[in-house]
């Protein structure tokens, strides 16, 4: 049997100094701890920090989108060189994987990505993934590597998704780490502080949003920190950080991919009758749609929410948002076929 997949995400604040330069002692320790897990897992390391690492080499850096792309182009090389140097101590070679959203939105491209990763794993290499900020056509603030790590974890059916944070886990009102979360409710999101590091794009709210989706897809999620000795291995055992319990779920590889792609697109709201129809494995018809909340094209993936604003499914659409808006309440207009809908 092949080894289980483990996705590890390290944020900017975790691996860089306040000035943005890579924190070498921390990265050395990450390499040591990941090397200990390497014989037991197929590992993907998702690493932020490229923009912070490269911005000092951009003159008059003010942080606009073009400068961020240029800083990422420089910083990616700096980070990969550091990772390569530190992992080589343990006889491990790494590979770079710069990802874009269309790599997950297209089934063919996702399968190519999966085949590449499997070839890397078969050769005992660790892919280090990051968003391809240099050519991204959308502002970086709309995406972070928590999302990329979740896309990879869900699409590859990972056993666990581990998100590293500078605070060490989800904190309660008294600043203490909550060791375990079984269900996501208002209390969980209610304890989130809205601040985040000055260098990173994500925060705890982002981590919880994607942790919620990953657990719905049957993936165990752990939010942890690096301040304690051997924190990575201990967090994987549930001894430190915050563990989020996965839901029991049985989905085909195609439907896991379909669900993972839902992160990047719009939403439609449906009525109670349409919710019942979906649960009976029927198609989504325009007559059951209450509102089109975001624009999307034919064939793109949408999140389907109920009247209580809860996500009930994701689906690949048969018509565009423009056509759907024109045909709301019409009978026999298929928005998404039952075969292209995944219930959550």
Domains in the chain (CATH in brackets) are 5-244 (3.40.1160.10), 264-343 (2.30.130.10)
Is the pLDDT at 162 greater than 80? The verdict is yes
* Displacement of CA 68 from its chain's centroid (Å): 21
Would you state the pLDDT for residue 1? 56
Band of pLDDT at residue 326, cut at 50, 70 and 90: very high
Mean pLDDT in residue range 2-31:
89
Q: How confident is the model at residue 144 (pLDDT cuts 50, 70, 90)?
A: confident
Return the minimum-mean-pLDDT range out of 17-26, 38-47, 129-138: 129-138
Cα–Cα distance between 205 and 170 in angstroms, integer?
A: 10
Q: What is the mean pLDDT of residues 15-32?
A: 89
- CA–CA distance, 303 with 291 (Å, rounded to integer): 12
Strand partners, 126: 94
pLDDT of 247 reads 82
Neighbours of 271 (CB within 10 A): 15
**pLDDT above 70: percentage of residues in the chain:** 89
The encoded tokens of residue 79 equal 């980070």
Question: In the prediction, which pLDDT does 199 show?
Answer: 41
Are the CB atoms for 146 and 204 separated by under 8 Å? Answer: no
Residue 139 confidence (pLDDT) above 50? no
User: Residue 97 pairs with which residues in a beta bridge?
Assistant: 129
pTM: 0.79
Higher pLDDT, residue 105 or 302 = 302
């Amino acid at each position: 049997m092949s080894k289980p997949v483990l996705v590890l995400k390290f944020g900017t604040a975790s691996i860089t100094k306040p000035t943005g330069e890579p924190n070498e002692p921390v990265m050395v320790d990450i390499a040591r701890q990941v090397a200990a897990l390497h014989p037991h897992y197929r590992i993907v390391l998702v690493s932020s920090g490229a923009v912070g690492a490269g911005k000092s080499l951009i003159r008059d850096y003010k942080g606009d989108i073009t400068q961020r792309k240029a800083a990422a182009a420089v910083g990616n090389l700096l980070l990969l060189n550091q990772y390569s140097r530190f992992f080589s101590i343990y006889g491990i070679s790494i590979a770079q994987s710069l990802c874009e959203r269309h790599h997950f939105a297209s089934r063919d491209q996702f399968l190519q990505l999966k085949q590449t990763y499997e070839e890397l794993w078969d050769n005992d290499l660790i892919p280090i993934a990051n968003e391809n900020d240099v050519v991204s056509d959308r502002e970086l603030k709309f995406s972070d590597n928590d999302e990329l790590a979740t896309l990879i974890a869900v699409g590859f059916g990972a056993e666990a998704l581990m998100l590293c944070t500078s605070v060490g886990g989800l904190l309660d009102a008294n600043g203490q780490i909550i060791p375990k979360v079984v269900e996501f409710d208002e209390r969980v999101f209610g304890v989130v502080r809205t601040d985040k590091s000055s260098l990173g794009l994500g925060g705890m709210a982002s981590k919880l949003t994607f942790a919620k989706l990953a657990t719905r897809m049957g993936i165990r999620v752990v939010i942890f920190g690096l301040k304690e000795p051997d924190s990575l291995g201990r967090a994987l055992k549930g001894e430190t950080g915050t563990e989020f319990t996965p839901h029991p779920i049985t989905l085909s590889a195609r439907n896991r991919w379909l669900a993972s792609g839902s992160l990047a697109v719009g939403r439609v709201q449906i009525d109670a009758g349409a919710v019942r129809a979906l649960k009976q494995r029927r198609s989504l018809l325009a007559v059951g749609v209450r509102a089109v909340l975001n624009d999307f094209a034919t064939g793109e993936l949408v999140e389907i929410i109920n009247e209580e604003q809860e996500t009930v499914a994701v689906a690949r659409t048969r018509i565009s948002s423009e056509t759907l808006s024109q045909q709301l309440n019409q009978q026999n207009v298929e928005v998404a076929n039952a075969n292209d809908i995944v219930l959550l």
